[in-house]
Each structure stands twice: as structure tokens, then as C-alpha cells.
Structure 1
Amino acid sequence: MAPPTTPVATAPPAPTTIEWITEPESLDQWLLAVKNEPLALDTEFERVSTFFPIPGLVQLGLGEQYRLVDPAVAEQSVEFRRVLADNRQPKLLYAMSEDLELFRHWLQLEPAGVIDLQIGAALAGAGFSVGYARLVETLFGATLDKSATRSDWVSRPLSEAQQRYALDDIRFLAPVYDWVMSNLSVRGFEAALAEESDRFASELASQDDPENHYLKLRGGWALPLQQQTALKRLVLWREQESRRRDRPRNRVVGDPLLIAIAERMPGSLKVLSNIQGLPQPVIRRYGDKILELLDEGLDAPTADFEPIQAPLTRDEQAFYKQVKRVLVAAAERADVPVELLAPRKRLEAVVHRRDLAAGLFNSGWRSQIIAPVREQLEDLLKS
């Protein structure tokens, strides 16, 4: 099903008044009325010179009731924390990765029962990674004012334009959810949205684990295994230091410099200081610690170490294209973006291991879509 070319639903009316919840107890009472109904959820935050996002606002919607909540109120609400963690309570978000990161660091909890409607829109045939404003205009014929997007959400008071912008970010979530679920029902994908949202949230949490962050430094793949263990220690230290100081990673030591240090493996401060681009203040402040971590890396066992994934070889690239062509055909048949069905990292894992299970194609909605071409894919993987 192609995205609709004309609006398919009436836009929910904008509220005539802007309502705030100003006490934790009032938020508790309001949320008690939610029960197991879908709760529209969004946040505004800032992060310019800090590691952690700074919460600025929480927006909540239930039916045509919309509320704005200051972070200080939300974090003191017992019900807010309970609802976020309740897997039985659907939370409707759009492009939720940054919101989940905020909750993880701000409230030290991992929201459950989250539904990412950007994923839902893709599954429903609206296209891959469609922006919220564009989808709202397509479905409802409403144009959202995005002028407040980059405004200051931490300072108070918020302007009326900011408040209206914040309400618009949740006002359409429930109607979008209804449209998505109606289309998924026709396709037989009713369970796919919750399944993929849960998996996406779980992967985001895993990627945020400081122990795994070294795997994102794809440029370190060419280092010998022992030096990759040293790089892992450097990255873990940098993650901990960035969090401790609440500073962006590149304000401590950037990724390219960590790779350069692990490549050079300096044994002294003098050799360390010769690494091009490494600032002297970094050497003075962290030099001894960096050398200590490198020594630990040299002595670390490598038997169970997970190396950084190497880029595909020329032969693997050719094979990748063969496998992707088959998956493109399956995705087009199901009217699902191939970027959602088979993201590059997932497909690279299949090619590396010659195993469909490596890309999660042996269960759930992906298995359903590739069923008509499964035999062809398995024959390719055996070739």
C-alpha cells in the first residue's frame, strides 16, 4: 500500500487551553485514570555541552486530554515511573531513541511497552524513517509549526508557541496509532509493531552499555586482536570519564584519537605525546591512566573477546548484493521498506556468518515476510 496522497482522517482539534500538571500527586491521580489505554508520550530536552541530555519538558496525552509536566514534577511521581516501566501499558512515541536515552539516564529506568510509531508507519506502508511532521500532513492535512524545535526548553517560562509546539508533538500520536494498527491488521502484521519496537528498545539499551561502546568504533577493526582489547579498555574508560564529568565524548578524547593510541601502543608519555592531534592537556591529565590501560590490554586474554566487525571484503560485497536483491523482492511484495526489513548491519551479519538467524530472519515478522524466498536465500547461503 502506497502512502495516502490525500488526508485519510480528521485532525484532532488543538486544545483551547494549555493545561499543566504542577504537583507529583496530581500527576499520580491523572495517570491512575490511564489504566491500560495507550498513553501518548514525548519529551523535550537539551544537550549541547553535556554528556547527558538535560530534561526540559514531558508531554502526555490520553485521548483528547493533553498535559505538560515539568521534569521536577515527573521525576517525583510514583505513577509516572510505574507507568513507564509497565509492559502492559502501551506508550506511544515517535522516533523514540532519544526519549529512551533520556529516561535511561535521567530516571535510571528502561521504559517497557513502548511503541515507536515511526516504525509503525514504515510497517504500514508510509515509507522508511518518515518524519513526524510529514506524516501528520499526509494523514491529516495539518501543517505543524516547527519554529520552536531548537528553542530553549530548560528555561522558564516557556512561550505559548513552545507550549503549542509541545502539544502538537503528542496530539496526533493516538490517531496515527489507530491508522497504523488498521493497516497492520489488513496486512496480518498486528503483532509486528510491538515486536519490532521492543527489539529496537532492547538494542538501544545494549548499545548504551559502556562495555559495548568500543564496537561502534568501526575504524578499529584493522587493529590486531590484542590491540583491540586495549582499545576496548580505552573506550570504557573514556565512557566512564565522560559520564563522571558530564562532558561529550570528544571533549574528553575523540574516537579517532583512541584508535590512534591503540594503534601506536605507546610505552611512555614521550611517545604518547608524539601522537598527532592528541592535545597536551589530555596527556597531562590522563597520560598515566592511558598507559596503564594499554598495559592491561597487552595482558588481557583474547579467547572470548568480541572483535570489531570488519567491513565486507570485495567477494562479500558481491554476495551481499545477491542476498539483498532477494530481500528487496520480498520487501516489495510485502510493501515494507527493505531498510526496515534488512538494515545494513543485520544483513552484514548474515553475510559474515552465512546464517539467516544472525539477522533475526528466523522468527517474528521478518520470518513471515521472507517465507516466500526463504529457500532461495538458504540456497544462496550454502553456495
Structure 2
Amino acid sequence: MINRPLEQTVQARFDQKVAAAEWVDSQSRLEALCLQWRQQPVIGLDTEFIRTDTFYPKPGLIQVACAQGVYLIDPLAIDSMAPLVGLFEDSKVLKVLHACSEDLELFASSYGAVPQPLFDTQVACAFAGFGLSIGYQRLLETFFNFSVDKQETRSDWLQRPLTESQRRYAALDVVYLDEIYQRLATRLREKGSYDWVLAECQQLADEALVTPDPDQYYHRFRQAWKLKPQQLKVLQSVSAWREREARVRDMPRNFLLHNNSVVGIAMKQPRTLGELSRIEQIRGRTLSKDGEALLSLVAAAQDSATVPEAPGAPLPSSEGNRVKVLKKTVQAVAAEWDIAPELLVRKRDLEALVRSGMGGGGYCLPQGLTGWREPLIGQPLLQALQQTS
């Protein structure tokens, strides 16, 4: 239950910080502040960016909050973000963000580093019993009985100067993070799951620094398991080409070549521009600029003797009973620990566990069910499978 007098006091303190938020647009000031922030045990971080017609997000603002105040860093005015990268990589400072996946992508692509160690309040909420993917607005309402106006969410963060409304919105997005962290950390430590959150967040940071292999992108197409070997070769080749070109040209994948077009090319394997023009959602500019290149990719893939590994088909119906048993086990453990079941075990890991024993050998835990998950849910799942054999 919310303590109204206490929350009013906290709210007044936050309002003062928001009103006094400092605009940081000089190299010397950023360097001085980063030295100060590296003396803090915890800082809050957030970003505002634009990503309407580009592959990579364009940073418009970076917000930092600590005990001393709120700071709005203008990345368009500062020559080097090296001081901020040093802060990101300082292991003594915990960085708190909310729903950080896009922020991490921006940091990784723009500055080649991500904040570590990391505490994502959305992930923490899933461990603390608040459900999966809780939004920042809902979080503020839950903890502080306070609502944030989200009208600036899609405003132009590259314009200068930013409006007062934009600055206030940006400051509000970060000013509460330390207080939210303190409350969540207390709850998680009482439950014994604080270290699990840190481990989960570290995995997010590690993954953000890894550039996916374009040649493996074809696995992301749900239809891939249905394709014949010749079609699968074309799907791999065309999807890899699109991934590389989208990065080089800095444009969204579907702007370059729509997903439906990638699959259509793989299935129909056009040999002429006329045949290519009849592929679903193919654009005229794609035909004129990249048509010949796409036809060459199709021809080369057809001639290749190497067939890529086919993605796994859906589990057969004969495994349905085992899956039901495993899901019941997941629900029971999730209820016991008050953790969102979708976070406790991901669908792909559950299926991988079942597949591991389909050849007649013993079941083995996939990578996603090791670490902190192994004693909590991995071993119970193995025990449940033994009872279904």
C-alpha cells in the first residue's frame, strides 16, 4: 500500500531535481561529471533517439540521474563520448535502466560499449512479482501514484533547441530510477533473487555487444523449416545480403527488402527481372537498384553444393504430453518464487530440452537453462521428464 505523506515528500524531491536538470553540451563539463559519477554507487540512465528511416538508432539525448541531480547530455554537441564509455565500463558503478534493450543497442552501435554492471528495472519487476514487461508508466503509478505524460515519446529528439516539454519528459524518465532500484533491490534480496536479476541483466549486456552473423539470419524466418533445400539456400543467401546491405546503407531491413519479399524470392527463385517484379511487396526502386544483384544471388545459391542447416520443425504432437508436464512444472516453480513464468523458462529453451531426448538418448539442459536457472528450474524439469519416460 502506498504511504501518501511519504510519497508526497518523495514527489516534491523529484520535482525539484527535474526542474533543476542540467543541460550538458561541452566536452569539459562531460569529463568533469563523468569523474563525479564514477564516485557514485548507483546511477540511472536513459536515452532518447530517432529511428524512423535508419538501421541504427540516432542518439538525440542521454539522461543521467544520481544523488546530486539530473543531467541531460547533448550527444550532438560533444565531440567524444570516451568519458561516458569509461563510466559505462566502471565495474564499481551500478547502472540502472528500464526496458534497456533499445538503449543498449544505441550505446553499442554509437559508442561500442554498453553500461555494466547493469540493473534493468523491467527485468527486476518480473522477478519481484510485478509481471512481465511492465511499462515505466505503470511502474511509476505502482510505486509513487504518479503519471507521466507520454506525449513527447515520438517527438523529434534531434531538433535543437529541445522544448521545455521535451526536457521535462526526458528528466522524468530517469529521475525515479534510483528510488525504484532501492525498493526493488530490497524486495529481491528478501526473496533471494537479487543475484539472478544481475545475471540476467549481464546476459543482456553481453548479447548487445555481439553482432549477429548475417549468414544465420535465415533462422529468424518462421517459414524456414518448411522450405526445400534449394529454397533454403536462396533464403540464407538473400537474407544475409539484406542484413549486410541494411547495415552498410543504414536503412531498415524492410525498407531495403520486405520480409515477405525475401521469403517469396526463396520460394519462387526468379530468373528474370520480370519474374522478380511479381514477388510479393517487391518495390520498384529495389528492382532498378538491386534487381540484378538479387538474381545473381539466386543463381549462385542454386549452384552451391552447400545446403544450410534447416531450422527445426515444430515439435511433433507425440511430444505434447511431455510439454504439458514441463509447463506445469514451470508454473509451479514460478508461483512458488513469484517470478513471471515466461522469464523463468523461455519457449525455445523448453523445446530445446524436449528435442535433446528425441533421438533416444538422455535429456540435457540447453544453455538457457544453466546458470542460476539450473538448480531452480533446470533440475526439476529433468526430473519431470524422467517421470514421463
Q: Percent identity?
A: 32
Q: Alignment partner for residue 124 of structure 1, among 124, 128, 133?
A: 128
Q: Distance in 2 between matches of 1:145 and 1:279?
A: 38
> 1:205, CA displacement in angstroms?
4.7
> 1:135, CA displacement in angstroms?
1.0
Match of 1:288 in 2: 292
Q: 1:281 to 1:33 in 2, by over 3 A?
A: closer
> 1:90, CA displacement in angstroms?
1.9
1:82 alignment partner AA: G
Match of 1:343 in 2: 346
Preserved contact between residue 94 and residue 118 of structure 2 (Cα < 8 Å): yes
Q: Distance in 1 between matches of 2:205 and 2:320?
A: 29
Q: 1:120 to 1:277 in 2, by over 3 A?
A: closer
Preserved contact between residue 334 and residue 369 of structure 1 (Cα < 8 Å): no
Q: Distance in 1 between matches of 2:216 and 2:77?
A: 33
Match of 2:360 in 1: none
- Normalising by structure 1, we get a TM-score of 0.89
> 1:24, CA displacement in angstroms?
1.5
Q: Alignment partner for residue 279 of structure 2, among 275, 278, 281?
A: 275
Please, what is the CA RMSD of the aligned residues?
2.5
Say whether residues 1:22 and 2:25 are aligned partners: yes
Match of 1:139 in 2: 143
Match of 2:317 in 1: 314
Q: 1:39 to 1:131 in 2, by over 3 A?
A: same
SS at match of 2:171: helix
Match of 1:232 in 2: 236
Match of 2:86 in 1: 82
Q: Alignment partner for residue 365 of structure 2, among 343, 350, 357?
A: 357
SS at match of 1:48: coil
Match of 2:191 in 1: 187
SS at match of 2:47: strand
Match of 1:376 in 2: 383
Preserved contact between residue 230 and residue 298 of structure 1 (Cα < 8 Å): yes
- Normalising by structure 2, we get a TM-score of 0.88
Match of 1:176 in 2: 180
Preserved contact between residue 349 and residue 359 of structure 1 (Cα < 8 Å): no
Structure 1 range deviating more: 86-95 or 156-165: 86-95
Preserved contact between residue 60 and residue 74 of structure 2 (Cα < 8 Å): yes
Q: 1:180 to 1:215 in 2, by over 3 A?
A: same
> 1:311, CA displacement in angstroms?
2.9
Preserved contact between residue 265 and residue 294 of structure 1 (Cα < 8 Å): yes
> 1:196, CA displacement in angstroms?
0.2
Match of 2:220 in 1: 216
Q: Distance in 2 between matches of 1:237 and 1:86?
A: 37
1:313 alignment partner AA: P
Segments of structure 2 that go 5 or more residues without pairing to the other structure are: 358-362
> 1:248, CA displacement in angstroms?
1.7
Q: 1:177 to 1:250 in 2, by over 3 A?
A: same
Structure 1 range deviating more: 190-199 or 68-77: 68-77
> 1:120, CA displacement in angstroms?
0.8
1:254 alignment partner AA: H
Q: Distance in 2 between matches of 1:213 and 1:84?
A: 29
Preserved contact between residue 43 and residue 96 of structure 2 (Cα < 8 Å): yes
> 1:74, CA displacement in angstroms?
5.2
Q: 1:59 to 1:356 in 2, by over 3 A?
A: farther
Say whether residues 1:47 and 2:58 are aligned partners: no
SS at match of 1:357: coil
Structure 1 range deviating more: 255-264 or 46-55: 46-55
Q: 1:279 to 1:179 in 2, by over 3 A?
A: same
SS at match of 1:72: coil
1:137 alignment partner AA: E
Match of 1:33 in 2: 36
Q: Distance in 2 between matches of 1:117 and 1:127?
A: 12
Match of 1:99 in 2: 103
Q: Distance in 1 between matches of 2:337 and 2:364?
A: 19
Deviations, residues 16-60 of structure 1 (Å, cap 9, x unaligned): 323111212211111111226222110001111222212111100
Preserved contact between residue 226 and residue 300 of structure 1 (Cα < 8 Å): no
Deviations, residues 106-130 of structure 1 (Å, cap 9, x unaligned): 2233443222110011111221111
SS at match of 2:369: coil
> 1:287, CA displacement in angstroms?
2.1
1:81 alignment partner AA: V
Match of 1:243 in 2: 247
Deviations, residues 105-161 of structure 1 (Å, cap 9, x unaligned): 222334432221100111112211111111111112222222222222111111212
Match of 2:336 in 1: 333
Preserved contact between residue 6 and residue 138 of structure 1 (Cα < 8 Å): no
Q: Distance in 2 between matches of 1:301 and 1:204?
A: 34
Match of 2:67 in 1: 63
